[in-house]
């Protein structure tokens, strides 16, 4: 594991961290990053991964929580939902 990846991994084991990885497009991209992230009970840290590809999300953690936001409807786009 390269030194930056090892340092990242150790930091997550020593502290509670929330790591946000935004817009991961491919499983290969996740594979290249995952060495820096403990994926077991050794840490209380959490990873929030965003992707447009359901396959990438499933590959990252088959048992993880998958949230699929829906597009905004016309009322929401116009800001009508924010009016009192």
Domain ranges of the chain: 3-82
DSSP strand pairing (46-49 vs 18-21): parallel
Bigger pLDDT: 15 vs 76: 15
Query: Rounded to the nearest 10 degrees, how much is the dihedral formed by the CA atoms of 62, 56, 21, 79?
Result: -100
pLDDT tens per residue across span 48-60: 899 988 888 888 8
How high is the mean pLDDT of the chain?
A: 82
pLDDT tens per residue across span 10-50: 888 889 899 999 999 999 998 888 888 877 667 888 888 99
pTM of this prediction? 0.68
* DSSP per-residue letters across the chain: --HHHHHHHHHHHHS--EEEE-----HHHHHHHGGGS--STT---EEEE--S-HHHHHHH-TTS----PPPP-HHHHTTGGG--
Sign of CA dihedral 32, 33, 36, 40: negative
């Amino acid at each position: 594991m390269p030194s930056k990846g090892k340092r990242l991994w150790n930091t997550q084991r020593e502290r509670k961290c929330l790591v946000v990885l935004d817009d991961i497009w491919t499983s290969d991209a996740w594979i290249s990053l995952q060495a820096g992230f403990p994926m077991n009970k050794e840490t209380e840290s959490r990873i929030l991964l965003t992707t447009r590809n359901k396959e990438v999300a499933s590959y990252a953690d088959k048992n993880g929580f998958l949230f699929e936001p829906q597009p905004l409807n016309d009322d929401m786009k116009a800001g009508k939902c924010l009016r009192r």
